[in-house]
Amino acid sequence: MTILVLGGTGKTGGSLTKLLHEAGISFIVASRSGKAEPYKAVTFDWFNPSTFENPFNADSNIDKVYLVVPVAYYDIAPIVNPFIDLAISKGVKRIVLLTTLQTEPGVEPTFGAVHQYLASKDIEYAVLRPSWFMQNFAYNFYQSIRENNEVFSATGDGKIPWISTEDIAQAAFDTLTTPESIRKDLLIVGPELLTYDEAAKLLSSVLGREIKHKRHTSDEQVKAFSQFLSPEFSKLLVDMEVAVSQGFEESCLKEPLSRLYIGKHKLEDYFKANRNVWIK
């Protein structure tokens, strides 16, 4: 049997493919380019439904899917849900969906709508709901750290259980490969709670120069995100940051352990391992 990895060249999918390869588990990667060297891959584009059947034409043994949706697009359910139906019709028995820590099923039209739709199906599934990625410091803040020595957010003094994409990939691997029958909604969190101020201090100590946390208002943060995301999705992200400032993510760690998947990687270790990213 074969696992289909959507987003297999991305942050979490790229780490997942390494785990599957090391374990000797059959998988195929779907990407817009149709390439994922050195692994087998097929062309797949969320905005071209004619490509949805490509993975199943390439491998008729696909029975599990790691589902990463197009995150920069707001109303994704009309795009993603037809693929879920197609996958089930092709014999897929388990789907592992990546959303966000703050996204409850059915609450909003992005991840929540897809979560609700998947949960309504008579198949095995897991929804992985991670907190904010450590890797955002190397992507979202790459330029601002290198050029302005700052990160920026609307999170105030709110604490975040920063999570590594490697830990998310491990959670995906575990839920995709476990022999037990599953229908799970897992909160994926890191081993420590840190504010942006504290994160900036850690990065300062690693880089040997002061990195500041610029505290944005909601409107300022929407404007900053809107430079590279749609206004609707920017507003959604800022609402999530405001929820951080109100203690939402910290409160998630009080959930029963059965609902939590706690990663191993710490933010300071990530900064040390990737120090050269922010060196001018």
Which whole number is the average pLDDT over 21-33?
96
- In angstroms, the first-to-last Cα distance of the chain is 47
Indicate if the pLDDT at residue 44 is higher than 90: yes
The per-residue pLDDT for 74 is 66
Indicate if the pLDDT at residue 142 is higher than 70: yes
The per-residue pLDDT for 107 is 67
Indicate if the pLDDT at residue 15 is higher than 90: yes
Indicate if the pLDDT at residue 71 is higher than 80: no
The domain ranges of the chain are 2-131+164-189
The per-residue pLDDT for 40 is 95
The CA distances from residue 223 to 5, 26, 185, 213, 226, in Å, are 33, 44, 32, 17, 5
Which whole number is the average pLDDT over 128-138?
96
Average pLDDT value over all residues in the chain: 94
Alpha-carbon span 217 to 155, nearest angstrom = 9
The string of pLDDT tens digits covering residues 220-272 is: 999 988 887 788 888 888 999 999 999 999 999 999 999 999 999 999 999 99
Q: Kindly report the backbone phi and psi dihedral angles of residue 176, in degrees, each rounded to the nearest multiple of 5, phi listed first.
A: -75, -30
Alpha-carbon span 52 to 13, nearest angstrom = 18
0.85 exceeded by pTM: yes
Alpha-carbon span 154 to 241, nearest angstrom = 6
Residues of the chain above pLDDT 70, percent: 98
The per-residue pLDDT for 165 is 97
> Which superfamily, per CATH, for 2-131+164-189?
NAD(P)-binding Rossmann-like Domain (3.40.50.720)
